[in-house]
Amino acid sequence: MNGSSAANSRSASVILTLPSRLAFMRAQGFPTIPIAILLGVLLTAIFANVIAPHNPEVGVLGDRFRPPAWQTNGTIDHLLGTDHLGRDVLSRLIFGARISVIVGLMVIIVAGVVGTGLGIISGYMGRWVDQVIMRLTDAWLALPALTFAIFLAAIIGPSATNIVIILALVYWTRYARVIRGEVLSVRERDFVRLAVVAGCSKWKIMRKHILPNVINSAIVLATLQLGQVIIAEAALSFLGVGVQPPNPSWGAMLADATDIFDSAWWYMVFPGAALLLTVLAFNLLGDGLQDALNPRAGRND
């Protein structure tokens, strides 16, 4: 029992370092701008029905190619202009944010849970279990991510739900590889050895002692991969194997704009800017979280 108590105490002490790491992150310069951008995107996605001035799927042909409000022939009723079908660009941007956020979060949750679980099992169990999981992971990683996603989309069929499944199948391997490396280090620590001596089962050790000590790495990886997932979803929609029209998607908007850029530049610039800012914000936030949550950040500095 003493060994188990010591193990729980040590495991808890690792988790309690999180506030101090966040304090370190603030001292080094909290990424307020990326957080503000992402908070704006998240709120836009949540309240899209309230914020959007028009139905994003319905247009008026008489309003085709109307420029932004500040240009000649522009109108305040269509602040960012309209597309080739007379649909409001601002409304489609707002609902496109909802699709990007939902798809991105769902992919990260599914891929993170599967990859983290397999990484913990592989790293702690070792032997043939580790060999099987890692060889499967290596084979999966050898496949070009976007090409593999397009191949799966062509087989399963294009839809928002299928895109979540496809991208989760593509990105779980990153978690498995990173978390497995963390577990190989954590399992040699004293609090894990004490838990073994105390008679804790392997599953309890993985759940109570291993998982809390690798969750920080999973969070950082999730933040960094959200940007990659959003780009992948946009790429699939751009190629016509992602979210299908008339559902608004930033990638689909860029695809529609390729043929009309000369006459309606705004239809490419605004979704492209939204995609760029969102992905850049996720990457900057991930870098900041890595400094705060990585136990070795202080040493590297």
Count of the separate structural domains present in the chain:
1
Q: What is the pLDDT of residue 12?
A: 42
Tokens 């001596």 identify what position? 197
Question: How far is it between the farthest Cα atoms of the chain?
Answer: 78
114 pLDDT band, cuts 50/70/90, is: very high
Cα–Cα separations (whole angstroms), residue 269 to 3, 44, 219, 245: 61, 19, 32, 20
Mean pLDDT for the stretch of residues 115-125:
88
Domain extent for 53? 2-300
Query: Encoding tokens for residue 159?
Result: 């839809």
Q: Average pLDDT, whole number, for the chain? A: 81
Residue 299 clears pLDDT 60, i.e. is over it: no
Residue 8 clears pLDDT 60, i.e. is over it: no
71 pLDDT band, cuts 50/70/90, is: confident
- Provide the whole-model pTM: 0.80
Whichever domain contains 273, its CATH number is 1.10.3720.10
| Greater pLDDT, 256 or 13 | 256
Separation of alpha carbons 221 and 112, rounded Å = 9
